[in-house]
């Protein structure tokens, strides 16, 4: 089993409009809803790759009930969400069909009480002990959860002998890195905020010195840069890709985590992550990927040393 943690679970709502105009009323051409939050997105991709994926975090109120109903229809994903009294947030994406751009509105999330956080920690430790092979800690923290929450979760996983991938930002990332996760996966802006450096390779090495065993940085359309105990690597798709990047980062996390759980080496981990990310960009539906496209791209990913 691979465990994903989404403390700030969401109901992702997407509106499609012919053209998005400020200060105007819009007729919606289509609307979709799906369970969201970075870790849940990762769990869906893991399941599509054939892994048993369990998703935990918080869910509450009428929106949380919808998230759980929709999650029950996600093949291969086990619902281990912990109830909370507050209402799960919504994220609203407005997709402009004319430009291809998407405008995102993210709610802050429910207020989590100290008792609810304590119940989650109990559930998390139970899941770690139930045959978990790897864990992903993903996304923002809802109000009320301690800013050092990810550091606590990293240490608990390490004590259980379970490798951790941490994908968050800001102070939560800064404190989480100090707990020594196996991998962190910031984007370039998050890495610069963590280290103060905008030079990707020195910044990834700096982040390793802060505690991460390995650092994998997203370079957007240019692929991934990794600083690892075996050296530094760059992995890039075969060509510039036009499409929707929504969910591409979560697909990359799923690629890294699944390859870690399978014991693959770094070139293979990065190849899988870049291919999944590229297949997600090329998919017609945001956050999904076509297995045939993934296999095609995988054979053309270029991995080189960056030392």
Planar angle of CA 2, 264, 307, nearest 5 degrees: 120
Q: How many CB atoms lie within 10 A of CB 295?
A: 11
Cα dist. 299→54, 76, 260, 274 in Å?
29, 26, 19, 11
Under 8 Å between Cβ of 226 and 235: yes
Cα dist. 265→231, 269, 284 in Å?
12, 6, 31
Do the bridges between strand 30-36 and strand 10-17 make them parallel or antiparallel, or are there none, so unpaired? antiparallel
Active site residue 206: no
Catalytic-labelled residue, pool 79, 167, 250, 290? 250
Residue among 60, 57, 107 nearest 87 (CA): 60
Euclidean distance between the first and final Cα of the chain, in Å?
A: 34
- Point out the residues that are catalytic: 250
């Amino acid at each position: 089993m691979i465990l994903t943690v989404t403390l700030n679970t969401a109901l992702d709502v997407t509106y499609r409009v012919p053209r998005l105009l400020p200060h105007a009323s819009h007729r919606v051409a289509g609307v979709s809803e799906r369970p969201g939050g970075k870790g849940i997105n990762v769990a869906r991709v893991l399941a599509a790759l054939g892994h048993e994926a369990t998703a935990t975090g918080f869910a509450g109120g009428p929106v949380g009930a919808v998230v759980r109903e929709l999650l029950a229809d996600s093949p291969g994903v086990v619902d281990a969400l912990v109830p909370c009294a507050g209402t799960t947030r919504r994220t609203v994406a407005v997709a402009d069909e004319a430009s291809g751009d998407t405008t995102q509105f993210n709610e802050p999330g429910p207020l989590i009480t100290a008792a609810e956080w304590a119940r989650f920690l109990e559930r998390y430790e139970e899941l770690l002990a139930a045959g978990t092979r790897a864990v992903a800690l993903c996304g923002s923290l809802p109000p009320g959860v301690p800013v050092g929450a990810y550091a606590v979760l990293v240490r608990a996983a390490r004590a259980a002998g379970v490798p951790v991938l941490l994908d968050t930002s800001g102070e939560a990332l800064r404190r989480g890195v100090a707990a020594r996760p196996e991998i962190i996966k910031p984007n370039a802006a998050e890495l610069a905020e963590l280290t103060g450096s905008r030079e990707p390779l020195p910044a990834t090495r700096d982040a390793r010195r802060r505690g991460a065993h390995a650092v994998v940085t997203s370079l957007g359309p240019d692929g991934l840069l990794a600083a690892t105990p075996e050296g530094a690597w760059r992995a890039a798709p075969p060509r510039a890709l036009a499409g929707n990047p929504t969910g591409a980062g979560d697909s990359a996390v799923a690629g890294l985590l699944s390859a870690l759980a399978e014991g693959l080496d770094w070139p293979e981990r990065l190849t899988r992550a870049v291919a999944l990310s590229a297949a997600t960009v090329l998919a017609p539906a945001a956050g999904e990927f076509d297995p045939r496209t993934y296999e095609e791209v995988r054979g053309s990913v270029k991995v080189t040393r960056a030392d």
